[in-house]
Chain A
Amino acid sequence: MVDSNNKTLGETLRRNGVSRRGFLKFCTATASMMALPPSMAPAIAAALDKARRPSVIWLSFQECTGCTESLTRSHSPTLENLIFNHISLDYHHTLQAASGHAAEAAKEEAMHANEGKYLVVVDGSIPLGNPGYSTTAGISNLQTLEETVAGAAAVIAVGTCAAFGGLPKADPNPTGAVSVSDIVKDKPVINVSGCPPIPVVITGVLAHYLTFGTLPDLDQYGRPKAFYGTSIHDRCYRRPFYDKGLFANTFDDEGAKRGWCLYKLGCKGPMAYNACATVKWNEGTSWPVESGHGCLGCSEPDFWDAGGFYNALSIPLGEVSRTASVAAAAGLVLGAAAAGLNYKTKSEAKKRHGRVTVEDLEKTS
């Protein structure tokens, strides 16, 4: 439905019988959601009262739908739902009722009716290796992205796949996966990384756009500073144990039972920037560290290849150091053999995936 309901958010809520107190409560929760100080609630109320429905086109590329799951499985009815009720989600593979030509026509209509004003949300990476790896209606992801983004106000890359290439880009990157910002250079791109991102962070970015009509401040990776401004480590409730040098050394030792720091068990909290430590998951019930497992650093570029989830950050990364440690233990010859084997495996993997064509894909299906 394109531009069929151009009421402001304030009008929409009032029409649904929401009192001013209810609206202020909504704004308080929105301020909290956007990680803004509570004193901003009146300013948010004034801005949201006048906010109009933006058109949103959601494109899914090389992804697992986990990002959409994260958003839609959040508790309901929620603030997220209210925000989503207010945007005009004109195209979303998984959620839309229309299919085939009708769905594609809806996207075209939304793009033309809201030229220069609509938001594009992308989840999934874009394969450059072979257009046949991922298509929609026979059109490659690359072409779909370029065409859709041409008339957009901004692009929101949701999830680590869209933001940084993610799991599809993990070594040896068989599909030649790249991120949205590798392709889109002439529009603002906001990266909402995480595997998946916290739902409230996705809606927080949309709420910011709704509220202020602008995009939030971004860090060096194009992520909103409000949510990615501090490391997991700095906001972790176990941080005092790190400062005192109290660590869990195994998952069932006394330190683990007493809730000490998980750094030595591979926690990537010191290099991971995300809001999990405060926003938490599953209705604010818990988050990985509170459940006794270290942070995987899923909101960071190339987290999948960061040297092993259970290696402490102080252990050096990469093949060179692994080869060196093998060589020290078993002699240079064995080390060289291990490195050779590793290289062979990698190059075979690259060879195996590198030559796949559309015809090959059709043959195997």
Chain B
Amino acid sequence: MSALDKIPIQIEASATTGPYHRNTLPLLHEIAHALRRFQAEGNSTTLDLGAIPFGPGDEQRLLDFLGTGEVSAKLDAMGDTNIWESAYAGVWIIEHKNASGERVAFQIEITKLPAILETQPEDIEESLIKLQEALENPKTGVFV
């Protein structure tokens, strides 16, 4: 929670019942086009929501429309990353946060599985070394 959350603000209308700024619908059409392209050609698409001029409530409208699907995952690397598949299979929402829980990137990925979830070859290499070391020098009492 950041210091900004502690400022008391009286909200007269919820974000989604306030004026609609008409920036959500074009984006949903873009997602539909990308999903069609992925199905036909197998090309993934990533949309950077940080570059979209959202008005108050637009983001919530988008997320409400997309809903939540079967899969969700949490990545713990330099802060949390929340990843979930929307109610529309193949449309993933990825929210990267820093160690203070503040958002540093927000994306929609149209793909089978977001690349960030895959184990990276560099980490496997490191992992193998660590595993080997652990096997050679097991902690006292582990295998007793």
Contact = CB atoms under 8 A, between A and B. Distances in A.
B21 A29 contact: no
A262 to B, nearest CB: 13
Contact of A25 (B21, B22, B50, B81): B81
A137 to B, nearest CB: 37
A245 interface: no
Interface in A4-60: 18-22, 24-26, 28-29, 31-32, 35, 37-39
B79 to A, nearest CB: 8
Nearest to A258: B19
Nearest to A78: B98
- Of B21, B46, B48, B123, the most chain A CB neighbours within 10 A belong to B48
Contacts of A24: 115-116, 120
A29 B104 contact: yes
B78 A22 contact: yes
A235 interface: yes
- Of B96, B102, B104, the most chain A CB neighbours within 10 A belong to B104
B123 A79 contact: no
Contacts, number: 99
Interface residues of A, number: 37
Interface of A: 18-22, 24-26, 28-29, 31-32, 35, 37-39, 75-79, 235-240, 258-259, 277-279, 282-285, 290
Contacts of B98: 75, 77-79
Contacts of B123: 19-21
A279 B77 CA distance: 23
A317 to B, nearest CB: 28
Given A18-B78, A21-B123, A38-B46, A259 B55 contact: yes
A259 B18 contact: yes
B53 A77 contact: no
B48 A32 contact: yes
- Of A18, A19, A259, the most chain B CB neighbours within 10 A belong to A19
A237 B23 CA distance: 7
A278 B56 contact: no
A164 to B, nearest CB: 25
B104 A79 contact: yes
Contact of B56 (A25, A284, A290): A290
A19 B78 CA distance: 9
A25 B55 contact: no
B52 A278 contact: yes
Given A20-B120, A39-B46, A76-B100, A28 B55 contact: no
B122 to A, nearest CB: 4
B144 interface: no
Contact of B51 (A32, A240, A259): A32
Contacts of A237: 21, 23, 53-55, 58
Across the A-B interface, the 8 shortest Cβ-Cβ residue pairs: A237-B55, A22-B77, A20-B120, A38-B46, A20-B122, A29-B104, A22-B78, A29-B105
Contact of B53 (A18, A20, A75, A277): A277
B103 interface: yes
Interface string B101-112: 011110100000
28 contacts: A19-B123, A20-B121, A20-B122, A21-B123, A22-B78, A24-B116, A28-B105, A28-B107, A29-B96, A32-B50, A35-B51, A37-B48, A38-B46, A38-B107, A75-B2, A75-B102, A76-B100, A78-B102, A78-B104, A238-B21, A240-B21, A240-B23, A259-B18, A278-B52, A283-B103, A284-B50, A284-B103, A290-B56
